Structure 1
Amino acid sequence: MDFVKGEKILVTGGAGFIGSNLCEKLLLLDNEVVCLDNFSTGKRENITTFLNDSKFTLIEGDIRDLDVCHGAMSGVDLVSHQAALGSVPRSINDPITTNEVNISGFLNMLVASKDANIDRFVYAASSSTYGDSEKLPKVEENIGKPLSPYAITKYVNELYADIFQRTYGLNTIGLRYFNVFGRRQDPDGGYAAVIPKFIKMLISHESPVINGDGSYSRDFTYIDNVIQMNLLALSTNNNQALNQVYNTAYGERNTLNDLIHHLKEFLKDFDSQISNLEIQFGPSREGDIPHSLASIDKAKALLGYEPQFDFQSGLKETVKWFWEMVQNVKT
């Protein structure tokens, strides 16, 4: 498939981990990119290299402000909505802000997109929507009850997207992300994702703490596979593919113990002492699901999705990127 070219695309949360990688790829494909970010979780260094590109525009603003959302739509053809407050623990600690950003902010973006007659609204959904459903692999049409405020907000996004298509004719595509990892992911803070956090700790010769006994498993998904899915969703000419939600994953699961084993294996090529570091185990996290594995059959059939990176090859790339980043900081 020929990916989207020559369009003007609004990327909300464009300074974040996934958003900045998407902005970079869209610019390489000769699109105009408008990045809307309030830098609550996004980082300026993620977009520094784009700021001198005449096809890149930064709008510093908040999706909770409807006027900002309307203003960002000027001349835009497509919307990629990546802005959200992630993290299950954060949502348990502060459900109100999570709701304001992930539901009210999402609704603002839908309204602004409708009012601007946007061609397509692609948005970041979440595997957390599967909730207490124990069936594996996860199939898009079968979900359970949400297990956290965050999961509720992401499910409500899907409901709103469906209603806006039925009521206003706004075409949408939701991408249920499964444990995305890769370059530019934030390793710091109380809500850091497990992979960048563990890499940084191991490089610093600190002992990571696994929540539980390490048997919980995830469909860890490398960033380049996720970017491919976003490009396919923005580009598809298949009308059957529109107004759907898709698992965005690799389609294999690995335990947290597997993760640590591979991290130590890959990092010892840079620092042999890392392989000797002890791993600690703590209590399981509230709101966590034990196992996650996606079926990607629907994405393959309707979007032509073919993930290029399995868990180990993506992890090797990620380890290399973080190691080089740490060395650059030292110099």
Structure 2
Amino acid sequence: MRFKSWSERRQYSKKKRQEKHLQRPTLPDGTKLITFPIQDGDGDCNGQNSKKEWIMNPNGKSYVCILHEYVQHALKKQPTYKFTELENAATPYAAAVSINDMQYGLGYGTSKKQAKSEAARATLELLIPEMRSKITADSKTGGSSASKAQDQDLSFFDEIKIEDPRVAEFCTKTTEPSPHDILLTCLQRNFGLGEMKISYKGHTLKHQKNEFTMTVGKHTATVICKNKRDGKQRASQAILQALHPHITSWGSLLRLYGNRSAKTFKEKKLEEQEITLLQSKAAVNSPNFAILDKLKLELKKLKEKRDAIKPIGEFTPYDNEHLPTLSSSNLKDVDL
């Protein structure tokens, strides 16, 4: 096109840009995008030092789809699921999500698909704090008031980083377990009793400061602290961050290993009452088969727990004098 002056050309170009901007596609109303930094393969977050980010639209997607999209793009990992069958008529299936050999969310349901979805939902609440508001909005009718109250209690810790030096003080004031207690619970659940040994080492520095070093397996953390007690908690926070590089807030660790992750006193009391009620089912001059069945079930669970930590074989040393020798005559008798 030809123009009489430069001003006409500028006006025409400006008008075309405005028309192009109006024709640009827009997202529907109510769409909430989630932006999170991309981590490398070792779990290091590049959100502060790098501009690598991933934008995800969770609307219209299942919890399993959102979890896989987040883990694959942001963490460069692949989630795995472990299914178990429970002797419970209401929720006979359970699923657990593991990322980098660390267990995160648990889910229960009437089918494996539902258990998988619930496990993915619980994992998303731990990995993406922004998803918790969407999940809560989606389950307004299904969630109980007690669980909502517990989530509100821990919302304060969602804004606190795992290695924040104020974590131990906040946990003491809110009667939450200390970072060292959280670390012990984490090691017991993921590695078993006695599998991971914790070693401590500290020495005094100048200006009334101390250096405290904690080693757990292949992870080592060294912190500068006021005293041994403070160093123990600070080092535990650093080890927990190394074990869970995909979690950023202390609130997620409390949901994973805190008091609410284990059975409450009320739940234990209900289990005791169930056993007490079985005594009323006994008949005259005959054994109580209800209690015997309950005992058989508990012994079966105990056997499965012991078999899970049982060694696969025994090591028997031999002397060189008693070792059998192989020759061409007896080689054919050896079972290769």
Instruction: Please indicate the TM-score interval, normalised by the length of the shorter structure.
Output: under 0.3
Larger radius of gyration: 2
Greater relative contact order (Cα < 8 A, sep 6+): 1
TM-score of the aligned structures, taking structure 2 as reference length: 0.24
TM-score of the aligned structures, taking structure 1 as reference length: 0.25
